[in-house]
């Protein structure tokens, strides 16, 4: 938050370091984050490769509920033995629980087909819908500038869009996202390197660079209060 981030996308972990999906773990994590920050927007992850379907709604059930949560819009395959089916039934069930608990979904659009899938629930989304465009390997969109332009052009009017890109594509595509009027996500979940051959020191280091770029390009980064207003949280 001090580095300039307004939204924190959170994953919980077991003591062993493995991902945790229990409400209890997310509760502990969220309380620790809220104690350490002012009014940052809390976003819980409900997805990712190899996420067990039976536990996908657990991160939504903390008290209070998170401000936002990720909602994968279709099948995802990035690794040799890890995949997530993200059936329509599961997506709809997670969306319904988010609606019931007043949680704004971040629609995880890993490719063009997922943008099509998001249109199924578009009319049920509170304004403005928030779409996360993901670029990289596996079943994500091929990471090049033309594909980013095409995806942005296909996002329905009235939505806010975010750009996420993996590895070496993070810096160029998020910079392009800033130029196109979108929002961006950076951090160690998506990219371990600050530049080729140099590992990033922290999430904050990557955020600070993005803030500098945004300011140089004439798009100052939103405060948490401004982010809440933009997203109508």
List % helix, strand, coil for the chain (3-state, nearest 5).
40, 20, 40
Confidence of residue 81 (pLDDT cuts 50, 70, 90): confident
Give the pLDDT of residue 40: 97
pTM equals 0.95
Contact between 66 and 98 under an 8 Å Cβ cutoff? The reply is: no
Tens digits of residue pLDDT in 14-55: 999 999 999 999 999 999 999 999 999 999 999 977 778 999
In angstroms, the CA 11 to CA 42 distance is 11
Confidence tier at 78 by pLDDT (50, 70, 90)? confident
Q: How far apart are CA 195 and CA 204, in angstroms?
A: 15
For strands 183-184 and 193-195, give the pairing. Answer: unpaired
- The residues with which 108 forms a beta bridge, in sequence order, are 72, 132
Average pLDDT value for residue range 124-131: 97
- The pLDDT tens digits of the residues spanning 194-230 come to 999 999 999 999 999 999 999 999 999 999 999 999 9
Asked whether 68 and 102 are in contact (CB, 8 A), the reply is no
Least confident of 77-91, 104-118, 130-144, 207-221: 77-91
Residue 147 scores a pLDDT above 80: yes
What mean pLDDT do residues 77-81 have?
77
Q: Which pLDDT score is estimated for 52?
A: 85
Q: Is a pLDDT exceeding 80 seen at residue 191?
A: yes
pLDDT value of residue 82: 75
């Amino acid at each position: 938050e001090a580095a300039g981030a307004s939204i924190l996308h959170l994953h919980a972990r077991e003591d062993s370091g493995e991902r945790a999906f229990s409400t209890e773990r997310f509760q502990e994590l969220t309380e620790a984050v809220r104690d350490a920050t002012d009014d940052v927007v809390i976003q819980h992850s409900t997805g990712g490769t190899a996420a067990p379907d039976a536990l996908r709604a657990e991160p939504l059930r903390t008290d209070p509920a998170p401000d936002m949560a990720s909602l994968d819009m279709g099948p995802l395959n990035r690794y040799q033995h890890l995949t997530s089916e993200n059936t329509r039934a599961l997506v709809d069930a997670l969306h319904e629980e988010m609606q019931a608990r007043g949680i704004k979904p971040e629609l995880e659009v890993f490719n063009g087909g997922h943008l099509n899938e998001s249109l199924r629930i578009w009319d049920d989304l509170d304004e403005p819908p928030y779409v996360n465009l993901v670029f990289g390997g596996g079943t994500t969109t091929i990471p090049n500038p033309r594909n980013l332009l095409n995806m942005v052009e296909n996002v329905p009017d009235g939505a806010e869009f975010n750009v996420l890109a993996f590895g070496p594509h993070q810096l160029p595509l998020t910079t392009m996202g800033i130029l196109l009027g979108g929002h961006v996500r950076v951090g160690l979940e998506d990219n371990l390197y600050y530049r080729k051959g140099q590992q990033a020191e922290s999430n904050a280091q990557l955020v600070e660079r993005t803030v500098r770029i945004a300011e140089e390009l004439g798009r100052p980064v939103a405060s948490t209060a401004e982010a809440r207003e933009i997203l109508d949280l």
